[in-house]
Amino acid sequence: MNGQESAPVRRKGGRLVVIAVIAVIILLFVFFLKDIMIPLIRLEMRHDLHGVRELLADKGLFGALSVILVEALQMVVVFIPAEFIQISTGLSYPLWIAILLCDLGVCLGATIIFSLVRWFKVRNIAFEKRRGAIERLSKTMRDRNTVLLLYLLFFMPFIPFGAICYYGSSTKLSYRKYIFTIATGVIPSILVSNGMGAAGAAFLKSDLPLWILILILLALAAALIVLVLAFLKRFIFREGDGTPDSMMYAFIFFLAGILFGKRQRLTVDDELLKGVEAPYVLLINHECSEDFYFVSQLAHPRNPAVLANEYYLNRPIIGTATKKAGFLSKKLFTRDSGTVMGILRTLRKGYPVMIFPEGRLSPDGRTNRMAESGAGLYKLLKTTLVLVRIEGAYYSHPKWRKKRYPSDVRLTVRRVLTPAELKAMSDAELEKIIETELFSNAAEHMNTLYPQKDKAEGLENLLYRCADCGALYRTEGVGNELVCHACGSRHTLDDHYHFTSGPESIPAYYDAIIRLEKSELESFSLYAAVKTKIFGKDKGPVRKEDGECFLDKDKFSYRSGEKSFEIPTAELPALAFSCGEEFELYHDGELHYFYPVNDRAQCARWALLVDLLAEKRETEAPAEPAEARPARERRVRKQTGEEGERSHEKA
């Protein structure tokens, strides 16, 4: 009985101690408020480093105590940045004293937060806004790794220390582990900020050359980055390495959420996905480069692997990160059995796979023609097929514009096809369903107003030909107008991205260009002097050279010195390109990037003409005879590795 009564007594006594400590802290704040705290905060809001330095030096010991209290206040309030007071402290005191004062302030603020959360269940609005981001990063961590997660969060430049403390207080960590983690986790950041202040003080006092000051600041920043990377590699990113359950996967999507998620208003309709068990294959139309993040927000039972362009996955830093995150690579518009095997391995491990069957971004807001029919492959994977449509993302970040605009993005699971349903369909039926459910026309889904005054900037790199006079490479996007410098025509975009005169929309203008190009499809001949960047086969060395590209209705040709090659257009399903920059293709396993020396807008023309030739071949191709289907299915099985599945499983 005594044991049952002692717990409430201890709890009550502990609460009284906490209240007493908080009362003392409040009195200290009040004592310092008028003469030091308010002037100090005002100077901070004005970013007056010199004024803060003089104030702290004038107040002596009280100035040092004020540093601790201001640092603690910034922790509790969360949204006030702490770097200013830390740099100011580095300017005002010897480095070791500055670090000690700031760390004591952090510990005081962390203790107040711990008391408020554990004893009084206080919720901080600024923290709640960041809770989702922190929880997304923590969802793959086990309870025993909470301390490591807190260390990781301290290395995140987007999350204030106070928000991390509110999160740590809401876990089951003991106060001893909690405060030790906080006290040590903030030291690298404090050291860098104080070091910057100390370097600034040396610059002011000792006539330190400016170039030396800059080198010191860069060295401090580099040291922090190296420390962060070493910590992440050693402790955080090892669990689930190489799969979508890895911390690297969570980290990538955490950063993507910060960069992309805040600016877009995403609506998700995934009712059809509920109850669907992993693994499955997701097919999605491709409106902007952030689509992979939007699709990750569906209610997946397991994190989906992303099938992405091999070029990005082979870049030094991005490639290492995406490999650890379980991303799959694909050589665009080329047969790649390694990709298919990677999909199969991922599905066998129980993960969904995210595929954008267009293989490229939509140029004008309408879903691209599927360059390579994958119906046979999807059926032979023998897994559920989930068809997802994205709408509203195109005008937020179209292919031809570098800037991102806020937009209303809608993500809808349009249809779920079971393996049994897929087996009962012909390839043609499945292809028709995929094309229908994934098709979107951005010009028809205009729920967002775009009041920006530079909507047409860069548009000439897509609408490279005047719809009125047919002149090539004479259009220019100026503000909200597409101007032709040949005939003087002007087409203005309104807040719905529709033209106020002439072609109704960007797709309509693009159609006008298509009609002009089709009229010359049998006789055109393109030439471009190019700067070529070649990525070696199997991650071989990168080479650069000058060359010449040629294209007509029969073949694509390239020549550089004594080197040359030709590719029949019948073997070019599509030509990937970046607006106003380059067009690209694979030859002999090597990725060639061609940068035109003149008229970079022509990149869109080369790609469009290859598309029109492919469309013409499809239109004129005779229907496949029934007796040819078994042979084709055998080719698909061979590509998927189904015939060698037993030997693969043994390996």
- Give the DSSP letter string of 31-74: HHIIIIIHHHHHHHHTT-HHHHHHHHHHHTHHHHHHHHHHHHHH
48 and 162, same domain (yes or no) = yes
Return the higher-pLDDT residue of 214 and 505. 505
Q: Of 231, 266, 282, which marks where a domain is finished?
A: 231
H or E element that contains 416: strand 407-417
- Type of residue at 526: L
Mean per-residue pLDDT, 350-376: 86
Q: Of 178, 202, 231, which marks where a domain is finished?
A: 231
213 and 260, same domain (yes or no) = no
3-class SS of residue 331: coil
pLDDT digits (tens, 9 = 90+) for 541-598: 889 999 999 999 999 999 998 899 999 999 999 999 999 999 999 999 899 999 999 9
What is d(CA 575, CA 514) in angstroms, rounded to the nearest whole number?
Answer: 16
530 and 514, same domain (yes or no) = no
66 and 189, same domain (yes or no) = yes
pLDDT digits (tens, 9 = 90+) for 620-633: 866 555 544 455 44
> According to the per-residue pLDDT averaged within each range, which of 42-56, 95-109, 540-554 is highest?
540-554
631 in a structural domain: no
Read out DSSP for 387-400? EEEEES-TTTS-TT
Nearest to 588 by CA among 540, 637, 537, 547: 537
Number of domains in the chain: 4
Residue 627, token pair as written in the block: 């007796």
Return the higher-pLDDT residue of 571 and 336. 571
627 in a structural domain: no
Amino acid 143: pLDDT: 41
DSSP H helical ranges for 280-383: 291-296, 310-313, 316-324, 337-348, 375-380
386 and 471, same domain (yes or no) = no
Contact 82, 71 (CB under 8 A): yes
Mean per-residue pLDDT, 132-156: 62
User: Cβ neighbours of residue 368 under 8 Å, at least 6 residues apart?
Assistant: 286, 358, 359, 360, 362, 574
502 and 537, same domain (yes or no) = no
Return the higher-pLDDT residue of 348 and 635. 348
590 and 472, same domain (yes or no) = no
pLDDT digits (tens, 9 = 90+) for 290-308: 999 999 999 999 999 999 9
181 and 103, same domain (yes or no) = yes
Residue 306, token pair as written in the block: 């992303």
576 in a structural domain: yes
CATH number at 611 reads 2.30.29.30
Amino acid 373: pLDDT: 57
Contact 367, 440 (CB under 8 A): yes
281 and 401, same domain (yes or no) = yes
Is pTM beyond 0.85? Reply is no
Contact 546, 532 (CB under 8 A): yes
Least confident of 25-34, 70-79, 515-524: 25-34
123 and 65, same domain (yes or no) = yes
> According to the per-residue pLDDT averaged within each range, which of 68-72, 301-305, 321-325 is highest?
301-305
pLDDT digits (tens, 9 = 90+) for 7-16: 444 444 445 5
3-class SS of residue 552: coil
Question: Look-up: residue for tokens 């301290």?
Answer: 154
Return the higher-pLDDT residue of 550 and 248. 550
What is the DSSP secondary structure assignment for residue 366, as one 8-state letter?
Answer: B
pLDDT band at 412; cut points 50, 70, 90: very high
Contact 322, 312 (CB under 8 A): yes
Backbone φ, ψ for residue 269 (5° rounding): -120, 95
Q: Which residues pair with 566 in a beta bridge?
A: 557
454 in a structural domain: no
39 in a structural domain: yes
User: Cβ neighbours of residue 17 under 8 Å, at least 6 residues apart?
Assistant: none
For 193: left if phi > 0, alpha if psi spans -120 to 50, otherwise beta; the answer is alpha
Contact 403, 371 (CB under 8 A): no
On the question of pLDDT at 335 being above 60, the answer is yes
On the question of pLDDT at 432 being above 70, the answer is yes
Give the Å distances, CA to CA, from 414 to 67, 285, 440: 57, 12, 12
129 and 189, same domain (yes or no) = yes
Mean per-residue pLDDT, 6-32: 52
428 in a structural domain: yes
pLDDT digits (tens, 9 = 90+) for 449-466: 899 999 999 999 999 999
Read out DSSP for 591-613? EEEEEESS-TTHHHHHHHHHHHH
Backbone φ, ψ for residue 304 (5° rounding): -85, 140
- Type of residue at 632: R
Kindly state the greatest CA–CA separation across the chain.
100
- Type of residue at 133: A
What is d(CA 237, CA 244) in angstroms, rounded to the nearest whole number?
Answer: 12
Mean per-residue pLDDT, 327-343: 85
On the question of pLDDT at 129 being above 80, the answer is no
On the question of pLDDT at 52 being above 50, the answer is yes
What is d(CA 157, CA 178) in angstroms, rounded to the nearest whole number?
Answer: 20
Mean pLDDT of the chain: 79
Peptide bond before 279: cis, by omega within 30 degrees of 0?
yes
Residue 100, token pair as written in the block: 């000690």
Mean per-residue pLDDT, 346-363: 93
32 in a structural domain: yes
User: Cβ neighbours of residue 33 under 8 Å, at least 6 residues apart?
Assistant: none
What residues make up the domain containing 541?
526-618
Amino acid 639: pLDDT: 47
On the question of pLDDT at 312 being above 60, the answer is yes
41 and 135, same domain (yes or no) = yes
What is d(CA 477, CA 493) in angstroms, rounded to the nearest whole number?
Answer: 10
H or E element that contains 153: helix 146-154
Nearest to 403 by CA among 456, 353, 329, 367: 456
504 in a structural domain: yes
Strands of the 481-484 sheet, one edge to the other = 475-478, 481-484, 490-492
What is d(CA 329, CA 316) in angstroms, rounded to the nearest whole number?
Answer: 14
- pLDDT cut 90: percent of the chain above it: 40
Nearest to 325 by CA among 306, 350, 342: 306
What is d(CA 156, CA 247) in angstroms, rounded to the nearest whole number?
Answer: 14
